[in-house]
Amino acid sequence: MTVSNISAFAQPYETDDRPREACGVFGIFAPGEDVARATYFGLYSLQHRGQESAGIAVGDGKAIRVLREMGLVSQVFSEAQLEDLHGIVAIGHCRYSTTGSSQLCNAQPMVIVDDPGAPQEGEPFTLAHNGNLVNVAELQESLEASGAKFMSTSDSEVIIQLIKRTSGRSWHERIARALPRLSGAFSLVLASANELFAARDPWGIRPLCLGRIGERWVVASESCALDTVGATLEREIAPGELIRINEDGITSLMYAEPVPKLCSFEFIYFARPDSVIDGLSVHSVRVALGRQLATEHPADADMVMPVPDSAIPMAVGYARQSGIPYGDGLVKNRYIGRTFISPTQFQRDRGIQLKFNPLTAELEGKRLVVIEDSLVRGTTSRPLVALLRKAGAREVHLRIASPPYRHPCHLGMDTGRRSELIAAQHTLDEILQFTGADSLKFLSLEGLATAIGRPAGTSCRACLDGKYPMPVQEELQELSVD
């Protein structure tokens, strides 16, 4: 395989230059408090998990009102709208599409209003989902056979329809009976007009945590959202757990046996570094990944620099372990929103320079170790190496703080087909040639496990080793074909 052949497949993404990520969810039960505003701030700190659409649903004891729009949290909600949203319970969602296309009908929270099948007629219900189901086709088929009509293309609607059509004396009972039929990744926040629920799939693929502000309860995808609203982190919602929060307090039900398989990419890329997941500081894990990378793949160089932002703590770790000084070689423009850049030829040509500007004075004449958190389709690395060389770098040694990404994720990361993943199609030597770097090394699978430090077998790394935690439906398996 020649270098030019590789570049033919390493095209920028259809609508963006990065793989897409999962979503952020938030929920609060706090009578007498401004639950809408708390949810707004919670979503603000989860914005990194999804920038396509945002929504808040508020229950006031009788009804549920929802605000949903395409765009960033700061663009979707106005002060006047928030001012007007009163209630005792609220849930929120920020979305990047995984299944379901990029349209308002797929925005969340999803609602059922005036549902004749509800436990009490007309009682509203709402749901926000992070993750991706792997048995959606079979569920949708059986729901349609029983008369369900789908309004969106999202797997989250399958969940809400399933709950709606499951019998039970209360929402709690219906949810508890519906959840065991779902397979795949789901971290859910749900609400009726006067109760909050939160549930996590038996594998605990996506994070979900419980926090407390005095007597009030909050749930969020990541603990950074709890910090923002002044809540303390109480604990993780356990894999296979369903929580119910209402005026009587909080109750927990294990609806399934837990088989923990937390997504490794939450530590590598998704989560904010100031979050704590399952007792582990994301920042500290990233520093450890950098240290491990330095141990496995040393380099003879003058400066260690990150590709900002996610690789910054990894570069810190590499520098500490290797003794090579840390330096910043790129400034990232943080105001380039995904929402307003259209995938024009201009963007394809200039994409990397719109995002990163080199600090020439830092780079001139230097032998660099450049730390990147991951290589997925190979879109970033080649123009980046060229940019650094143009800015005067003498040598560029690429070090990737995760193992080669070879299998599509079916559980919440939209990284595309196997044929689009550079490490699935090419040898490491071919990838090195393609990037134009002087050397290229990846962290080992064992090194990843050591740096994350979770008990053996409790992490999902299907994108790296192809071992999915559960059977995956046929349509999704096709993505795994070359």
Which residues contact ligand AMP (rule: CB under 6 A)?
18-21, 269, 307, 310, 372-381, 413, 415
Residue closer to ligand AMP (CB basis): 57 or 413: 413
| Nearer of residues 50 and 239 to ligand AMP, judged by Cβ | 50
CB of 259 to ligand AMP, least distance (A): 23
Output the smallest distance, CB 417 to ligand AMP, in A: 13
Amino acid at 138: E
Q: In the complex, which residue's CB is closest to ligand AMP? A: 380
Supply angle C-alpha 307, 312, 314, rounded to 5. 105
Considering the complex, state which of residue 66 and residue 263 has its C-beta at the smaller distance from ligand AMP.
Answer: 263
Nearer to ligand AMP, 60 or 414 (CB): 414
Question: What's the min distance (Å) between Cβ of 323 and ligand AMP?
Answer: 25
Q: Of 23, 94, 209, 224, which residue is the catalytic one?
A: 23
CB of 34 to ligand AMP, least distance (A): 33
Q: Which is nearer to ligand AMP, 37 or 382 (CB)?
A: 382
Q: Which is nearer to ligand AMP, 100 or 124 (CB)?
A: 100
191 vs 437, beta carbon nearer ligand AMP: 437
- Tell me how far the alpha carbon of residue 385 is from its chain's centroid: 27
CB of 383 to ligand AMP, least distance (A): 9
Residue 199 has phi, psi (to 5 degrees) of -145, 150
Q: What is the 3-state secondary structure (H, E, C) of the chain?
A: CCHHHHHHHCCCCCCCCCCECCCEEEEEECCCCCHHHHHHHHHHHCHHHCCCEEEEEEECCCCEEEEEEECCHHHHCCHHHHHHCCCCEEEEEEECCCCCCCCHHHCCCEEECCCCCCCCCCCCEEEEEECCECCHHHHHHHHHHCCCCCCCCCHHHHHHHHHHCCCCCCHHHHHHHHHHHCCECCEEEEEECCCEEEEECCCCCCCCEEEEECCEEEEECCHHHHHHCCCEEEEECCCCEEEEEECCEEEEEECCCCCCCEECHHHHHHCCCCCEECCEEHHHHHHHHHHHHHHHCCCCCCEEEECCCCCHHHHHHHHHHHCCCECCCEEECCCCCHHHCCCCHHHHHHHHHHHEEECHHHHCCCEEEEEECCCCCCCCHHHHHHHHHHCCCCEEEEEECCCCCCCCCCCCCECCCHHHCHHHHCCHHHHHHHHCCCEEEECCHHHHHHHHCCCCCCEECHHHHCCCCCCCCHHHHHHCCC
Please state the closest distance from residue 13 (CB atom) to ligand AMP, in A: 8
Please say whether the beta carbons of 370 and 398 come within 8 A.
yes
Q: How far is the CB of 398 from ligand AMP (least distance, A)?
A: 11
Q: Would residue 23 show up in a list of annotated catalytic residues for this protein?
A: yes
CA proximity to 200, closest of 272, 142, 278, 89: 278
Question: Which is nearer to ligand AMP, 189 or 352 (by Cβ)?
Answer: 352
CB of 371 to ligand AMP, least distance (A): 10
Catalytic residue list: 23
